[in-house]
Structure 1
């Protein structure tokens, strides 16, 4: 196997006559668009591999995709948070590209267009974004999830403008190494899922692409990892089977036990109130539980500017859903909000722009529904812990 480092953004690998050229890009770089087009035109490979999955490829080729969004269907599939995370990430990349005069993924579109114009086979080699986000969320600890949420929110509301020259620096190895080290220190699980796992996935799919002369277009941050794994594949030291990287993490046994144990304990405490304190104490405990769940859920639904019917559902439903491990109040309030305040075409068209401001969240019906989902869930969770502690205090006073 031979290695020819063509430039800081390109690496050419030779595996006994089979050539693979890695082209590293910045996803909002005008220069990357031009470089990708010229590279494919000059090399005339057998196959062009791009760092996209089918859904992302469709989304960047079809900017109006959100006009076909079925919000109720998304909520029923329990994908509300994933949708919001996706929108925030897309919005952040979109803002980064404004000063550079390009849209996120333009270099990938350029690669696909160049392949089509030159009658070259094109293959998508990235892992589906939904699997990546679910693995990133599922593998994280509670503290890791909090940091991930904080990072997403800060990036969504950030007003920082990025100079085109700074974007180009992202393709340089030293700049990229520094960023990867920082990410690894701050969120090691996220770095493993978003970078390390995808390096292996991308390399495996590139290796399995048809042809003896392949050009692979991928983000510059993946260049070192993909190169290293391709070299292992070429030496027979690794497998290109990626089935394990497509498996969604199962909820931990502790989380499953906790989801059942907390409601069971609350029910037990309510029953204990009736047994040891009679009807009066039992009724007091029952009403305490109801109000501690109902009021925070209703208040935070109102803070999200939820429809009055959604607020009512939050108030009445939270005490009951808190005792059921299979359904949360956020799902109930969000479904009601989505049905009674159906998103308009303008909401879907302005989604990525509105997600970058608090005012936009309240103005956009899709984002407001997701806000209702998150805040009502938070209210019920707070009520569960505070209400549980209050009930314990009441029972201690009965002794």
Structure 2
């Protein structure tokens, strides 16, 4: 197991680097905590994941409609895919995702040592990763997630243990940085600082002198560097900025509203200068492209007829409002008419790894409806908007040409 021993300003900090689905890591974590008997054990979990780790039945209480209303559908899908991938990796070596963290928590409890959860909430991390990516970057992120979920490649125990080696980790981090720099910044760099800041704060409490931190091996170099800077006074432990969504730039907000305003303005111009026929043609182009493509998206997702109708009727309106998307409404309708069952919650980690599973599992089908109807509506907005622009430009050229 990777281990870094630090002595900073009189505080002993031990960083234990684990492979997240490794039985050997579980054993080594227990042994290290028993040997060190620190004043505190820091765990790479947030409070929500810690609660989920202790409640394996939590998925059964999932309120999918509430998730959609809170606009967390894409985040839930990403979380399910990531959890499924880790579960499949762990199955090859006989451990479950999070077992090495559970081992650290159990070892601390046995010795009466307090535990601190020092990671950033997963929802915050995923939302920042999504917000910091461009449209193309988001497509790459979703593609990578689905590719990992669908992959049937088996990972051996030796390969998992190699993830704790610096050379293996350096190669993976470099590859991630090249492929998705925005995601790497959020998943690794920001969390390195967040973890270091909270580990430092944990060891400052109640006159503590030592802490053992159980972390994924990939975080060790970054966390060490930040801890040394914090101890030297060149960095503080303020994580407020990376604990919330990045604020949208004024330009992005303006563009988000400018496009609908331009579309409405062009359609209005068609009515004013071209009469009822021209205006109706432009309005029809917008409605038809949005309705048809969003409806096709819901249909391909296996949506109920009412879901498809909702997608088709709602898309022309939601495409004119940056605050909502038709996928949310279509997903809610799908969840109402084909309500997910407990069995769907229990099997979704397995079902997410195949196309057939997405259609068989009612909860995953709701998320598929959300995703595909949103994609359809986005394409419809682009095609419909482009056709309106081309048509109105051509009309005015002809008008002034006369």
Q: Sort the TM-score into its range (normalised by shorter chain).
A: over 0.9
Asked if the contact 2:9/2:231 (under 8 Å) is kept, the reply is no
Residues 211-230 of structure 1: matches in 2 within 5 Å?
211-230=208-227
With 272-281 and 368-377 compared, the bigger mean Cα shift is at 272-281
TM-fit CA distance, 1:201: 0.9
Asked if the contact 1:135/1:248 (under 8 Å) is kept, the reply is yes
With 155-164 and 323-332 compared, the bigger mean Cα shift is at 323-332
Match of 2:240 in 1: 243
Structure 2: which 5+ residue stretches go unaligned?
none
Corresponding position: 1:27 with 2:27: no
With 97-106 and 379-388 compared, the bigger mean Cα shift is at 379-388
**2:75 paired residue among 82, 85, 88:** 82
Distance 2:360 2:224 in 1: 46
Residues 63-74 of structure 1: matches in 2 within 5 Å?
63-74=56-67
Asked if the contact 1:138/1:250 (under 8 Å) is kept, the reply is no
Cα deviation digits, residues 179-225 of structure 1 (max 9, x gap): 11111122222111111111111111111113212111000001111
Secondary structure of residue in 2 paired with 1:242: coil
With 237-246 and 199-208 compared, the bigger mean Cα shift is at 237-246
With 189-198 and 83-92 compared, the bigger mean Cα shift is at 189-198
Q: Kindly tell me: are residues 389 and 237 of structure 1, through their superposed partners in 2, closer, same or farther at Cα, counting changes over 3 Å? A: closer
Match of 2:91 in 1: 98
TM-score of the superposed pair, with normalisation by structure 1: 0.95
TM-fit CA distance, 1:140: 1.7
Match of 1:12 in 2: 5
Cα deviation digits, residues 103-133 of structure 1 (max 9, x gap): 1110100110111111111110001111111
TM-fit CA distance, 1:258: 2.1
Corresponding position: 1:188 with 2:181: yes
Cα deviation digits, residues 141-199 of structure 1 (max 9, x gap): 22222211111111111111101000000001111111111111222221111111111
TM-score of the superposed pair, with normalisation by structure 2: 0.95
Match of 1:144 in 2: 137
With 231-240 and 156-165 compared, the bigger mean Cα shift is at 231-240
Corresponding position: 1:363 with 2:360: yes
Match of 1:110 in 2: 103
Q: What is the RMSD computed on CA atoms of the aligned residues? A: 1.3
Distance 2:262 2:374 in 1: 20
TM-fit CA distance, 1:18: 2.1
Residues 147-226 of structure 1: matches in 2 within 5 Å?
147-209=140-202, 210=205, 211-226=208-223
Secondary structure of residue in 1 paired with 2:57: helix
Match of 2:319 in 1: 322
